[in-house]
A and B are shown apart, each in its own frame.
Chain A
């Protein structure tokens, strides 16, 4: 977008604002762009759309721009922005809600590895009812493209070295601990249909 370019607020845009306000219960009209959220954010420098801009773009109905952004995947949910907002706008809650919407949309995740990590985490969670870090990392690394990328960019050997050190120090166990309730969680997930 060029600086000074006017955005047309379409019917779809208006609906997007009502949708986000309805689904999060947050009054986005309360934001007056003071930028305290962005100033308190520890990862704002790594975001393509800054936290205060996220709120403005929701007000303007910029759905595709937000769901395709890097910001919604980089956010740490550290809640610094929401805690500092003078008008109680839950900035972090809006960002995480956009991440949920993006995960169910055709837009490719801007931070693919993080999205894969979360998906594999949910897979392990419903398999055993609990997370075993070795099984989780193995499942992550077996996903298409991940291991090759890590070998190529030189991050795999350090990861392996750290993993072995943790095994040596008794912080990782190969055998997963299971909860008998895992089956109930699988049933719940099925019933919710990705909600």
Chain B
């Protein structure tokens, strides 16, 4: 099985570790990701803030190439995902005209909903070589993948469970908590650092309070905010994993293929203590 893959800028920049782990984790389930040739930036919050036409038309370029490839589209970064579905929705409704050919026949997926389909959950359960038992995690979904539900199609937008199901299939102890979709601060640190830090720390403190060993995310900006807030304040509370990193840890023949050096809060002491990783 093949999917068109839209990495987006973060996944070849600050979150290149996420990018690599997505490709490998999908590969472990027999899904080949084909990168969209010459893809361009989705516009993110900047286009959304300054140019309402660009924010619709920028993603349409990438959707158009995916259609040409004849494949459904995977966007692991929630911001990109949100911009892509927004763009497709507006163009389909005739509110803007794409300069690139677009039929609207393509499906756009976020990786958590794609992999939490019954078939893949079964494959994950059957493929586990190193069950993540004793690892107590909370899944954090953030905003852009989930809201607005009319656009994303997330039925359980108040209490999403797609990552919870994947982590459970990997054998982890998934804790319930009420902060799954409360914003981490996004890019507000660029102008108002104190607001960003206060939002990120609220989540970190709550995760600790709920008894988690780690936070699991599917968003490059959430990972960066939660990870770097701890580095910047010198308060190391919890490692923040991409869910795909934990998939590799549980599913791969050898856990060595995964490198946690990119994390600012080092997860290896925790993984060694849980006997999931040896250096």
Contacts of A77 in B (CB 8 A): 45, 48, 143, 186
CB pair B53–A169 under 8 Å, yes or no, is no
Min CB–CB distance B43 → chain A (angstroms): 7
- In whole angstroms, what is the CA distance A182 to B57 when docked? 14
Contacts of A132 in B (CB 8 A): 9, 13
- In whole angstroms, what is the CA distance A140 to B232 when docked? 20
Contact of A118 among B45, B147, B195 (CB under 8 A): B45
Contacts of A173 in B (CB 8 A): 13
Stretch binding the partner chain, chosen from A10-18, A28-36, A50-58, A78-86: A78-86
Interface size class of B (residues with CB under 8 A): 35 or more
Whether a CB of chain A sits under 8 angstroms from the CB of B149 is yes
Whether a CB of chain B sits under 8 angstroms from the CB of A49 is no
Interface size class of A (residues with CB under 8 A): 35 or more
CB pair A189–B54 under 8 Å, yes or no, is yes
Min CB–CB distance B188 → chain A (angstroms): 6
15 cross-chain CB contacts under 8 A: A42-B183, A76-B186, A96-B49, A103-B50, A114-B188, A118-B45, A119-B46, A122-B46, A125-B40, A130-B9, A165-B264, A179-B39, A192-B53, A195-B52, A195-B54
Q: What is B's interface to A at a CB cutoff of 8 Å?
A: 9, 12-17, 38-41, 43-54, 57-58, 61, 99, 143, 147-149, 157-158, 181-183, 185-188, 190-193, 195, 199, 228, 231-232, 261-264
Besides A181-B39, A184-B61, 10 new A-B residue pairs in contact (Cβ under 8 A), listed by A number: A43-B199, A46-B195, A73-B191, A77-B186, A99-B49, A114-B192, A122-B46, A158-B232, A162-B232, A170-B261
